[in-house]
Amino acid sequence: MIREELLIEEEELQAGIDDPNLKLFDATVLLTPREGESGQSRYNDGHLPGAGFLDHLAISREQASPMFMLPGEAELAAAIGNLGISNDNDVVVYSTDSIMWATRVWWVLKYAGHSNVRVLNGGRAAWTGELVTTPHRYEATTFIPNLSPEMIADKKEVMAAINDGATCTLNALPYSFYTGEADVPYAREGHITGSLSLSFEQMMDDHLVKPTEAVVEEFSNYNRSGRVITYCGGGIAATLTATCARLAGFDDVAVYDGSMSEWLQAGLPTTTGPEAGQLS
């Protein structure tokens, strides 16, 4: 995958923001919000001109635990259409917090069969134009799905991969989460047994995705010929590592949608500390 299939730079978006075929979305979610703050409130405080607000729950399975897991094909297609996205639209997604919320939308739309969606590199922080506070909503339309099921892994496949030397399973959380040292309930269990650590943070240079050459270097110790499955706490950060794996030349990449939230609920094998043979 070339970089321009994933990312749009601020200057290009500035030049094309008035294109009537463009559907632009703020997909902000705040992991550690202050009291009364949310992704929606960030959007209300100022967003790119013409941008709608994309609530991740709108493209997630209803009343699901863990949160944000994908709905079925018909439900997902209807949700995408209700956002105002047709198969022919150009779509750009950004976030005011971590870019992983935008890469999650990229991954979901690509999985659903949308051919032209990109993430604003740097998010709202990269935007040098005006911000507006008037909310915008696109008129609902029809989206015809064409799923790519190979982009999503389930717990059965991940369990099989523990003893499968052809599959590389990567934990996309910070290393302290991987080892079980982070003071977060699900992180105290460490990582899926057999998986390796490659944090989403290693993909970033401040709020920008690293240059492609640097991304390639982050993946230099992994075999490009096999399948890669990325996971995190709930299938969000995993999409940043997964999209960057595609940038680095890996063709067979999947996100474990349920990630650690589902894995722990199911009581499946975990390990704390590094895996044997992995450098800390």
CATH number of the domain that residue 124 is part of: 3.40.250.10
Distance, CA of 81 to CA of 104 (rounded, Å): 17
**Same domain, yes or no, for 225 and 167?**
yes
Q: Write down the pLDDT at residue 225.
A: 83
Distance, CA of 159 to CA of 167 (rounded, Å): 11
**Cis-peptide, bond into residue 174, ω within 30° of zero:** no
Distance, CA of 234 to CA of 154 (rounded, Å): 12
**Same domain, yes or no, for 130 and 202?**
no
Q: Write down the pLDDT at residue 163.
A: 84
**Same domain, yes or no, for 186 and 258?**
yes
**Same domain, yes or no, for 182 and 141?**
no
Structural domain including 259 reads: 150-271
**Same domain, yes or no, for 69 and 172?**
no
Residue pair 70/158 in contact by the 8 Å Cβ criterion = no
Residue pair 190/271 in contact by the 8 Å Cβ criterion = yes
Q: Write down the pLDDT at residue 159.
A: 96
**Same domain, yes or no, for 25 and 124?**
yes
Final residue of a domain: which of 102, 131, 147?
147
**Same domain, yes or no, for 111 and 215?**
no
**Same domain, yes or no, for 60 and 106?**
yes
User: How far is residue 122 from each of residues 77, 87, 128, 185, 204, measured CA to CA in Å?
Assistant: 28, 25, 11, 30, 10
At residue 155, what is the residue type?
Answer: K
- φ and ψ at 83, to 5 degrees? -75, -15
| Contacts of 276 by beta carbon, 8 Å cutoff, 6+ apart | none
Final residue of a domain: which of 93, 122, 147?
147
Q: Write down the pLDDT at residue 184.
A: 85
Final residue of a domain: which of 101, 119, 147?
147
**Same domain, yes or no, for 48 and 86?**
yes
Distance, CA of 99 to CA of 230 (rounded, Å): 16
Tens of each residue's pLDDT in the chain, 280 residues: 999 999 999 999 999 999 999 999 999 998 766 777 789 999 999 999 999 999 999 999 987 678 889 999 999 999 999 999 999 999 999 999 899 999 999 999 999 999 999 999 999 999 999 999 999 999 999 999 999 999 999 999 999 999 888 899 999 999 999 999 998 888 899 999 999 999 999 999 999 999 999 999 999 988 888 999 999 999 999 999 999 999 999 999 999 999 999 999 999 999 999 886 554 4
Q: Write down the pLDDT at residue 278.
A: 59
**Same domain, yes or no, for 90 and 133?**
yes
The tally of domains found in the chain comes to 2
Strands 152-153 and 196-197: unpaired
Q: Write down the pLDDT at residue 280.
A: 44
**Same domain, yes or no, for 88 and 12?**
yes
Confidence (pTM) = 0.95
Q: Write down the pLDDT at residue 116.
A: 97
**Same domain, yes or no, for 10 and 60?**
yes
